[in-house]
Structure 1
Amino acid sequence: MSEKSTTKPPIWFWIVSILALLWNLMGVMAYLGQAYMTDEMKAEYTAEQLALMESTPAWVTAAFAIAVWGGLLGCLALLLRKKWARPVLILSLIGIVVQMGHSFFMTNAAEVYGQVQGIITPLLVIIIAIALVQFARIAEKRNWIS
Structure 2
Amino acid sequence: MRNAVFWVVALLALLWNGFGLYDLYMTLTINREYLAQFPPEMMAMIEAFPEWRRLLWTTSVFLGVIAAVLLLLRRAMAERVFWATAVTMAAGFIGYDLPFGNGLEAYGVFGVIFSFVLIAVQIVLALYARWAARHALIK
Please give the per-residue CA displacement for 1:34-58, whole angstroms capped at 9, x wherever unaligned. Answer: 22114x3598365533321111111
State TM-score, norm by structure 1. 0.83
Q: Report the counterpart of residue 16 of structure 1 in structure 2.
A: 9
Q: Classify 1:137/1:106 alpha carbon distance in 2 versus 1 (closer, same or farther; 3 Å).
A: same
Aligned to 2:23: 30
2:60 to 57, 64, 67: 67
How many positions carry a matched residue from both structures? 137
RMSD: 2.1
Structure 2 contact 93–115 (Cα < 8 Å) conserved: yes
Alpha-carbon separation, structure 2, partners of 1:54 and 1:112: 12
Aligned twin of 1:3: none
Amino acid at match of 1:125: L
Percent of aligned pairs sharing the same letter: 26
Q: Structure 2: 5+ residue runs without aligned partners? A: none
**Aligned partners of 1:47 and 1:10: how far apart in 2?**
44
Alignment partners' CA distance in 1, 2:126 and 2:83: 6
TM-score by length of 2: 0.87
Alignment of 1:69-84 (within 5 A): 69-84=62-77
Cα deviation, residue 107, structure 1: 2.3
Rounded to whole Å, the distance in 1 between the matches of 2:63 and 2:40 is: 31
Select the structure that is richer in helix: 2
Bigger Rg, which one:
1
Indicate conservation of the 8 Å contact 1:103/1:109, yes or no.
Answer: yes
Alpha-carbon distance in structure 1 between the residues aligned to 2:12 and 2:34: 30
Cα distance in 2 for residues equivalent to 1:56 and 1:67? 15
SS at match of 2:118: helix
Hey, what's the Cα distance between the residues in 2 that align with 1:63 and 1:30? 15
For the residue of structure 2 that corresponds to 1:10, the secondary structure is helix
Mapped pair 1:109 → 2:88? no
1:91 is aligned to 2:84: yes
Please state if 1:55 is matched with 2:48. yes
